[in-house]
Structure 1
């Protein structure tokens, strides 16, 4: 297993950014988040600063660094703004060309940087990806493998986000700890006894494990007890959803996308954004399922239900965050040791095997 020092060391982190997070395709956003003219999201990691922007319905990705004095063109993780730098108002067209006077244009041409560096965008269903390594020949379909169909099928059941904003949850923890945490539900019955256990999650063994490339999917079956039956009767409008699977279905798309479907009732989308060896931003969205033929009363009830689900689902993340930050603090005291994994943590062992193929750890 990977020794604890590799969750602390800056040089190892730099290698992970270069060989894992900046080596190919990464998830950047949902299509809904950049559906309007001038909608944008940014992606900043290690030595990459990118902006993904809607240009009259055409989604493009450019380096998010102004050619003039190197200010960020778009700021914040998500927003809506014309494509111009807020320092000296340099404006760029949909090809990344600066619309400036001839004197500036001549200088940019002379230095062979008259256009912003552009990156390939790939879309699978409702998921938007960017190929951050321009030298890579790998297509998005090849990157996803069997998960190409899994993602497109899953997102066909998406309705709208519950909130239009990202929830950004900074973690004082190494990015690998966040991945490891979502790759098992062994902790669910203790850490999430007030959030997941009451809805029947965390008491049954996982099943239906699917892997391809470095990606991973599994079902954690939901136990239907008396409490769940009463809840289901009160929320009968949820039976009008199109996607049902009686489990907490978790998908990890390597290297930075987490997806959870709670029996097709609620979809969680998490984007991992490592900042340093001991700091990781988790950008969170929650998506409602398509519900057919709701009555007016059912529509009102569903809105109330999904708003309350947003709060309880976010609480799950904060419950994990406390644990992960405690672990990160302790790693420096036992940096020569490695974690121990049991039978229910087999997905973590596979994740370790995958990252070790890309990075030579200490």
Structure 2
């Protein structure tokens, strides 16, 4: 038999599995948190929950630090917005912190607390490892582990290049999916479902075939585009006065374990998505659309740009909505099944994803 077994259905809704995933999958691996452009100025910050850990990634006069987003005083959240610009100062009692997490200021310290420098260091925020690949910022909560370049392997140079080549912001947003984060990831890891889920959209966009590469749970899926798609994008680039990427000219899709997906369309558009677990049956899907960088000397009509951007932002929304519907259907049925699904050769990217997941959980859960 060519096919292999998927993971057991219970691991898509079981609370124990989910709790293990938060600590063993998300807190042990490097997680994408945002773009360098979001931390370009002093006091710029990004907040994210990685596994069970609330993290703030902040610019301290050019130094990027990742710290626990909880004040040491009375445990209030330090930065409450997803992104913003303000000093790392608690909104409750105004305790402030330095780039290494050590206390910088405590109001009324001399009269009410008496904290010396040693005590301030003892109350320092927990610090996490942060690293950058091109324009992408990653954080690892675990104290020990591979470096980012070791973790990404051959994908480090790929992400470094595409993140610096695709920088023209088009759209960003998020959706709530009523499904486990693994099912959400699986919707982008094969083209076998295209005829059933996307007969009027993606089926007319790309061919239902895929050349697969893999490294430690990270995978590539290269899918040839339809002739009509090549023609449309050639026209779009002409109107937008941009050049096609020299290396990626079909639909080139990269998945970085555990939850980052990057799709490149005809060397012109980058779609970056993350699948953030909320609970065993809910996922927040975040997306960013970016065009390939335009030469600085080229001026284009804003009306033309808006019209073209609207075309592919609507297409992106339609594809995601079609995937959401089928993913939520699968999630609804998982509690009624106890036999694992089958993965055909055309679904090998999911097999690599599952193998990395099994390795992280280290076979601790019964029935893996």
TM-score (ref. length: structure 1): 0.90
Q: Distance in 1 between matches of 2:92 and 2:274?
A: 29
Query: Structure 1 residue 145 and structure 2 residue 150: aligned?
Result: no
Cross-structure match for 2:164 = 156
Q: Which moved more, 1:65-74 or 1:240-249?
A: 240-249
Q: Distance in 2 between matches of 1:264 and 1:194?
A: 23
Cross-structure match for 2:62 = 57
Q: Label 1:231 to 1:256 Cα distance change in 2 as closer, same or farther (>3 A).
A: closer
Query: Structure 1 residue 279 and structure 2 residue 279: aligned?
Result: no
Q: What is the CA deviation profile of residues 290-343 of structure 1, one whole-angstrom value per residue up to 9, with x for unaligned ones?
A: 123664345652343224422321332122111111111111111x12122223
Cross-structure match for 2:80 = 75
Q: Label 1:218 to 1:68 Cα distance change in 2 as closer, same or farther (>3 A).
A: same
User: Structure 1, unaligned stretches of length 5 or more?
Assistant: none
Asked if structure 1 preserves the Cα contact closer than 8 Å seen for 2:194 and 2:208, the reply is: no
Q: Distance in 1 between matches of 2:320 and 2:348?
A: 22
Q: Secondary structure at the match of 1:267?
A: strand
Cross-structure match for 2:178 = 172
The CA deviation at 1:111 is 9.1
Q: 1:116 aligns with which of 125, 143, 160?
A: 125
Q: 1:33 aligns with which of 8, 29, 38?
A: 38
Asked if structure 1 preserves the Cα contact closer than 8 Å seen for 2:30 and 2:138, the reply is: yes
Q: Distance in 2 between matches of 1:140 and 1:319?
A: 34
The CA deviation at 1:160 is 2.7
Q: Secondary structure at the match of 1:156?
A: helix
Query: Structure 1 residue 318 and structure 2 residue 327: aligned?
Result: no
Q: 1:205 aligns with which of 209, 234, 254?
A: 209
Cross-structure match for 2:28 = 23
Query: Structure 1 residue 3 and structure 2 residue 5: aligned?
Result: no
Q: 1:352 aligns with which of 347, 354, 363?
A: 354
Query: Structure 1 residue 258 and structure 2 residue 237: aligned?
Result: no
Q: Secondary structure at the match of 1:296?
A: coil
The CA deviation at 1:32 is 1.6
Cross-structure match for 1:289 = 292
Q: Which moved more, 1:92-101 or 1:111-120?
A: 111-120
Q: Distance in 1 between matches of 2:177 and 2:232?
A: 36
Q: Label 1:176 to 1:108 Cα distance change in 2 as closer, same or farther (>3 A).
A: farther
Q: Distance in 2 between matches of 1:333 and 1:137?
A: 38
The CA deviation at 1:156 is 2.6
Q: Distance in 1 between matches of 2:213 and 2:310?
A: 31
User: Structure 2, unaligned stretches of length 5 or more?
Assistant: 1-5
Q: Secondary structure at the match of 2:77?
A: coil
Q: Label 1:229 to 1:146 Cα distance change in 2 as closer, same or farther (>3 A).
A: closer
Asked if structure 1 preserves the Cα contact closer than 8 Å seen for 2:240 and 2:304, the reply is: no
Q: Distance in 2 between matches of 1:67 and 1:219?
A: 48
Q: Distance in 1 between matches of 2:226 and 2:279?
A: 39
Q: Secondary structure at the match of 2:99?
A: coil
Q: Distance in 2 between matches of 1:321 and 1:55?
A: 39
Asked if structure 2 preserves the Cα contact closer than 8 Å seen for 1:108 and 1:114, the reply is: no
TM-score (ref. length: structure 2): 0.88
Asked if structure 2 preserves the Cα contact closer than 8 Å seen for 1:217 and 1:250, the reply is: yes
Q: Label 1:269 to 1:228 Cα distance change in 2 as closer, same or farther (>3 A).
A: closer
Q: Secondary structure at the match of 1:12?
A: helix
The CA deviation at 1:105 is 5.8
Q: Label 1:34 to 1:194 Cα distance change in 2 as closer, same or farther (>3 A).
A: farther
Q: Distance in 1 between matches of 2:145 and 2:243?
A: 39
Q: Secondary structure at the match of 2:341?
A: coil
Q: Label 1:311 to 1:86 Cα distance change in 2 as closer, same or farther (>3 A).
A: farther
Q: What is the CA deviation profile of residues 104-125 of structure 1, one whole-angstrom value per residue up to 9, with x for unaligned ones?
A: 3628955973211111110000
Q: What is the CA deviation profile of residues 37-91 of structure 1, one whole-angstrom value per residue up to 9, with x for unaligned ones?
A: 2221112143211001122222111000011111111113222222122222222
